[in-house]
Amino acid sequence: MFNFNPIRAVLQHSTRIVCVALGLVASGSIHAADVNVASHFQLEATRGIGPKLAESIIVERTNNGAFKNWDDFAVRVKGVGEKKLKIMQADGLTLGTK
């Protein structure tokens, strides 16, 4: 005979929801990249960075060295303003030093 336990059913459903939510949260940090060492592919995976901007970042970094801070980054890379910078940072873009 089938024995249905409503409390157990709710707990199993809640556990599935929590697992899915944690998976979604964790997937956001997969794209975290350091702007001073990230590859073209890693930069493009960051929200707010397309192929042209990724190329500009790499060219600037290669020609003039690592970015010292976010202000230095925004000044040296054309097309990066305060709004775009916040979007990139929210998606996990970091700025370390070489």
Where are the chain's structural domains? 31-94
Q: Which CATH architecture has domain 31-94?
A: Orthogonal Bundle (1.10)
DSSP per-residue letters across 15-73: HHHHHHHHHHHHHHGGG-EETTT--HHHHHTSTT--HHHHHHHHHHHHHH----SHHHH
Q: What is the mean pLDDT of residues 77-93?
A: 93
Tell me: the pLDDT tens digits for 45-60?
999 999 999 999 999 9
- For tokens 């709710």, the residue is 10
Tell me: the pLDDT tens digits for 16-56?
655 555 554 454 445 679 999 999 999 999 999 999 999 99
